[in-house]
Amino acid sequence: MKAVVYNGPRDVKVKNVPDAKIEQPNDVVVKITTTNICGSDLHMYEGRTDFKPGGVFGHENTGEVVEVGPGISRIKKGDHVSLPFNIGCGFCKNCEAGLTAFCLTVYPGMAGAAYGFADMGPFPGGQAEYLRVPYGDFNCLRLPDDAREKQDDYALLSDIFPTGWHCTRLAGLQPGESVVIYGAGPVGLMAALAATIQGASKVMVVDRHPDRLALAEKIGCIPIDDSKASPVEQVLAQTRGEGADRGCECVGYQCHEPHGREIPNLTMNNLVGSVRFTGGIGVVGIFLPKDPGGADQLAKQGEIAFDMGLFWFKGQSIGTGQANIKHYNRHLRNLIHAGRAKPSWIISHRLPLDQAPNAYQHFDARDKGWTKVVLKPAA
């Protein structure tokens, strides 16, 4: 089968790889209809992780079940399914508590498993024609009969719509509160949509790309361009000097300049500065753990500027981590089905799998108009 294979820093190729097949009784095999490129893929694409050349990318997968193992009873051939990017077992103590991003069974050691991800197990990604899904009964979310008609909306259920939602929950957002979101990438825009649906009174979105800020404005958010003036000052001006009730970090470690210098991430200090005393901060942007044995560049990724003193003095709280997609995807699917959520307004490109190398290049460079790419292996 064809798949998007990592070849080295900023180099992916579409190549033939062994077909996905049933390996365990609880596996299902899914024919991929939509698989998205994510900001998380860029950590690996840019060569900042130990993701091995030859590995297949792709953790945002939707498709049709074509084969089920003998241990599968709920999911049937022909079902249209959304696949959470985290792979859970369903029965460990973390999965039972809804913390499927920290499953203790599927990839023991670190806690948490995912498709096509560095440090999250040996599971090939779904930027391919087919995908093997472990614990299929648990990990497949069935889509309703409008699966084809609303395919663009449902495609965002495997990761970023639930992740944006999770960020607002980590921040503790309540109806009527204000929130500032750092990052108008796909994840930040989903956090903005989630906050809007949950009844935030004011949603401010910080970035420096006018095309991305315009997408935030389109759903009624206040765009804040941090290349024009301090984002902290701009948020304070919007909130009578108090600061936003809640803040979301949807940026993570960034290196904008291809082959260029590192840009220090200031979002954590900006959040502490622009969120009110006793406010809450959610962090879904990825900061890779410090690797004591790694190369210099790798070792720096987990350490960023953070004013612990001001954070403490303001009595703020913070929540972090990978999103537990299964905790949200059923309800968010229902919102899409009912027509009450249409996350697909951020999708900029729908491309066949063969065009993945070109799409990676544009998305990585944050080229104008390349906000969210969905790949269609069956096209």
User: CB–CB of 193/250 below 8 Å?
Assistant: no
Closest approach of Cβ 320 to ligand NAD, in Å? 8
Q: Which does 162 bind (CB under 5 to 8 A by kind): Zn ion, ligand NAD, none?
A: none
Please count the residues of the chain: 379
| Residue 209 is a binding residue for ligand NAD (CB under 6 A) | yes
* 81 or 204: CB nearest Zn ion: 81
* Binding segment toward ligand NAD, per CB under 6 A, in 21-29, 65-73, 89-97, 207-215: 207-215
* 38 or 87: CB nearest Zn ion: 38
| Residue 254 is a binding residue for ligand NAD (CB under 6 A) | yes
Closest approach of Cβ 263 to ligand NAD, in Å? 7
Q: Which does 79 bind (CB under 5 to 8 A by kind): ligand NAD, Zn ion, none?
A: none
* 159 or 177: CB nearest Zn ion: 159
- The encoded tokens of residue 81 equal 């399914």
Radius of gyration over every alpha carbon of the chain, rounded to an integer in angstroms: 20
What is the per-residue binding string for ligand NAD in 59-98, x denoting contact by CB under 6 A? Answer: ----------------------------------------
Among 79, 152, 153, 159, binds Zn ion (CB under 5 A): 159
CA angle 61, 357, 184 (to 5 degrees): 65
Among 26, 33, 35, 40, binds Zn ion (CB under 5 A): 40
In 206-287, which residue ranges form alpha helices assigned H by DSSP? Answer: 210-218, 231-238, 267-274
Residue 191 vs residues 25, 73, 130, 196, 320: alpha-carbon distances, Å: 37, 35, 30, 9, 14
Among 3, 250, 347, 373, binds ligand NAD (CB under 6 A): 250
Among 285, 359, 375, 377, binds ligand NAD (CB under 6 A): 285
| Residue 324 is a binding residue for Zn ion (CB under 5 A) | no
Among 208, 337, 362, 376, binds ligand NAD (CB under 6 A): 208
Strand partners, 141: 82
| Residue 286 is a binding residue for ligand NAD (CB under 6 A) | yes
Closest approach of Cβ 214 to ligand NAD, in Å? 12
- Residue 60 phi, psi (nearest 5): -110, 85
* 29 or 298: CB nearest ligand NAD: 298
User: CB–CB of 277/241 below 8 Å?
Assistant: no
In the chain, which residue ranges form alpha helices assigned H by DSSP? Answer: 39-45, 93-96, 136-139, 151-154, 160-171, 186-197, 210-218, 231-238, 267-274, 296-300, 308-313, 329-337, 356-364
| Residue 182 is a binding residue for ligand NAD (CB under 6 A) | yes
Q: Which does 4 bind (CB under 5 to 8 A by kind): Zn ion, ligand NAD, none?
A: none
Residue partners of 72: CB distance under 8 A and separation at least 6: 25, 26, 27, 28, 136, 137
For the segment 5-64, give every residue that binds ligand NAD (CB under 6 A).
38-40, 43
What is the per-residue binding string for ligand NAD in 211-240, x denoting contact by CB under 6 A? Answer: -x-------------x--------------
Helix axes 186-197, 160-171, angle to 10 degrees: 60
Strand partners, 249: 182, 283
Q: What is the C-alpha separation between 235 and 244, in angstroms, rounded?
A: 7
Q: Which does 252 bind (CB under 5 to 8 A by kind): Zn ion, ligand NAD, none?
A: ligand NAD
Closest approach of Cβ 157 to ligand NAD, in Å? 13
Residue partners of 159: CB distance under 8 A and separation at least 6: 36, 38, 40, 59, 60, 84, 85, 323, 325
| Residue 173 is a binding residue for ligand NAD (CB under 6 A) | no
Strand partners, 317: 280
Q: What is the binding site for ligand NAD (CB under 6 A)?
A: 38-40, 43, 159-160, 163, 182-188, 206-209, 212, 226, 250-252, 254, 266-267, 284-286, 322-323, 366
Q: Which residues bind Zn ion (CB under 5 A)?
A: 38, 40, 60, 159
